[in-house]
């Protein structure tokens, strides 16, 4: 029996099980769903230890290799008869000193905004497809206090906050975003401060969030999607492509057609400016105790056709294998077709502890609380956030 640890739950976990059922793998597989505790899979010992981990923070791979927790994956999985099977950004993340230690399984496009087309048409705010970042900021103010606020926020999931921060930072300064990902890192720079200022514009408007900051802090990612398409408390939500199954379910529950939902790329900072294009995803890694049977399972799951049931029957999955061909939904097809050319990987996944719960997650949560309903000083909160990140950075090193 080969044990696979995953972070997925709910619809995603069900979809993964459907993939396993259709994959005809060489050995039986036991799925171990660990949720946010997925990191414990890499320290478990004995019979309870998994052989394969679906690592949701691919940027941690090199640190895990250095700590002696991973073994190599077969190098031939990275190449097919027509050349590389994966885009360059995956190679950079999954190789260490020229050797492969991971294989991409699931990609995600993290620079998207989902919106209720019907509600926007009746809101008087106009068409958001050509909006800039500042147009979205202005819209938050215009919709504040109304029956439907502009943007829902699932702040109980820290990665939702980091995704928004990363998109705004990459839109503001690709150079600073990439420098932070490469290290050594300096948080006290103008682009980071400007990003916090814009976050203050999104979160610091009184009555700008559905239910206020207190409610946002209790709402998870899926809840914020339902706030738009089921409960109809907001017009839009910044969410990755894997919002798709939740969107579809919410529309079904509210008795509406799928035509009511639309997706727009995350905007740039000015008219015609390039918007951010951030890739995330899950990488298969082998624990040190894994054997040849686990290698064979990884090879089976890396096959081009394996994710097709998830893509076509559930949605919310982008195939990182360049040879994967599937019928994507109209929401996902544009992103799936362009993803190999998206140049930037999820920043918080590359920062180690600084990007996690006690680092960027906590800093952004405290910033949200400070500038939220109480109308805190955005400039002062920005200074505190930058100082805290800098101190954490020094302590982590």
Q: What is the mean pLDDT of each run of 10 residues along the chain (397 residues)?
A: 93 93 90 87 78 90 90 94 90 92 97 96 93 97 95 96 98 96 91 97 93 95 97 97 96 95 97 94 94 95 96 96 96 95 91 85 96 83 96 75
Length of the chain in terms of residues written: 397
What's the pLDDT at 352? Answer: 78
CB 197 within 8 A of CB 382: yes
What's the pLDDT at 372? Answer: 87
pTM for the complete prediction? 0.94
Q: State how far the alpha carbon of 183 is from the alpha carbons of 109, 205, 349, 351, 393, in Å.
A: 24, 34, 13, 9, 11
CB 196 within 8 A of CB 203: no
Residue 271: CB atoms within 10 A of its CB come to 11
What's the pLDDT at 182? Answer: 85
Q: What is the token pair recorded at 163?
A: 């995704």
Whole-angstrom distance, CA of residue 119 vs CA of residue 236:
9
What's the pLDDT at 55? Answer: 94
- Which phi and psi angles does 263 have, rounded to 5°? -125, 140
Whole-angstrom distance, CA of residue 268 vs CA of residue 8:
31
CA-only gyration radius of the chain, Å: 21
Residue 105: CB atoms within 10 A of its CB come to 24
Q: What is the DSSP letter of 358?
A: I
Q: What is the token pair recorded at 147?
A: 């029956």
Q: Exposure of 380 by Cβ count < 10 A (0-12 exposed, 13-18 middle, 19+ buried)? A: exposed
């Amino acid at each position: 029996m080969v044990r696979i640890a995953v972070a997925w739950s709910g619809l995603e976990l069900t979809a993964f099980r459907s993939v396993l059922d259709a994959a005809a793998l060489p050995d039986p597989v036991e799925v171990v769903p660990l949720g946010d505790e997925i990191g414990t899979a890499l320290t478990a010992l004995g019979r309870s230890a998994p052989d394969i981990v679906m690592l949701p923070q691919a940027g941690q791979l090199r640190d895990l290799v250095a700590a002696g927790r991973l073994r190599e994956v077969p190098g031939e999985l990275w190449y097919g008869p027509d050349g590389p099977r994966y885009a360059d950004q995956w190679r950079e993340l999954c190789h260490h000193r020229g050797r492969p230690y991971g294989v991409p399984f699931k990609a995600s496009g993290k620079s998207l905004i989902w919106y209720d087309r019907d509600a926007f048409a009746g809101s008087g705010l106009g068409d958001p497809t050509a909006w800039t970042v500042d147009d979205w900021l202005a819209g938050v103010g215009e919709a504040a206090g109304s029956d439907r606020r502009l943007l829902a926020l699932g702040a109980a999931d820290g990665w939702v906050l980091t995704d928004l921060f990363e998109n705004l930072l990459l839109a503001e300064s690709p150079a600073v975003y990439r420098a932070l990902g490469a290290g050594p890192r300096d948080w006290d720079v103008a682009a980071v401060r400007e990003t916090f200022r814009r976050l203050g514009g999104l979160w610091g408007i009184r009555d700008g969030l559905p239910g206020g900051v207190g409610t946002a802090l209790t709402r998870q990612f899926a809840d914020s999607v339902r706030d738009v398409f089921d409960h109809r408390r907001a017009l839009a939500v910044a969410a990755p492509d894997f919002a798709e199954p939740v969107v579809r379910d919410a529309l079904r529950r509210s008795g509406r057609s799928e035509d009511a939902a639309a997706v727009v790329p995350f905007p740039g900072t000015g008219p015609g400016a390039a918007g951010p294009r951030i890739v995330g995803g899950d990488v298969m890694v082998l624990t040190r105790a894994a054997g040849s049977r686990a290698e064979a399972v990884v090879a089976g799951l890396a096959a081009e056709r394996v994710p097709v049931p998830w893509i076509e029957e559930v949605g919310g999955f982008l195939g990182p294998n360049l040879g994967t061909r599937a019928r994507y939904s109209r929401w996902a097809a544009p992103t799936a077709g362009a993803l190999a050319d998206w140049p930037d990987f999820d920043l918080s996944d590359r920062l180690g502890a600084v990007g996690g719960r006690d680092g960027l997650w906590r800093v952004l949560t405290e910033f949200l609380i400070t500038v939220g309903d109480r109308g805190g000083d955005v400039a002062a909160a920005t200074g505190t956030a930058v100082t805290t990140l800098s101190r954490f950075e020094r302590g982590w090193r």
